Amino acid sequence: MHFTPTRVVFIVLLILVAALVAAGIAGIAGMLHRMDGASVPAACLRAGATFAAVMTLAMALLTLLSAWLL
């Protein structure tokens, strides 16, 4: 497989967008957990778990997409 600079930039940008989306979703999950009456450490734990789950899903989709496009 030949990596051109355009493909590398495309993949890096997709990873950055996935991280931003995951951070936003994790923040919302932590806020909702906190509004539900959980303590701050429990809300941070829930937000971290959500971030990890969203990033795992995003990397799986990126792998599928890059195998299909590249």
- pLDDT of the residue at 7: 81
* Residue 46 CB coordination number (10 Å): 18
pLDDT digits (tens), the chain, 70 positions: 677 888 888 888 989 999 999 999 999 999 999 999 999 999 999 999 999 999 999 999 988 887 776 6
Q: How far apart are CA 40 and CA 62, in angstroms?
A: 32
- pLDDT of the residue at 70: 64
Question: What is the radius of gyration, based on Cα positions, of the chain?
Answer: 16
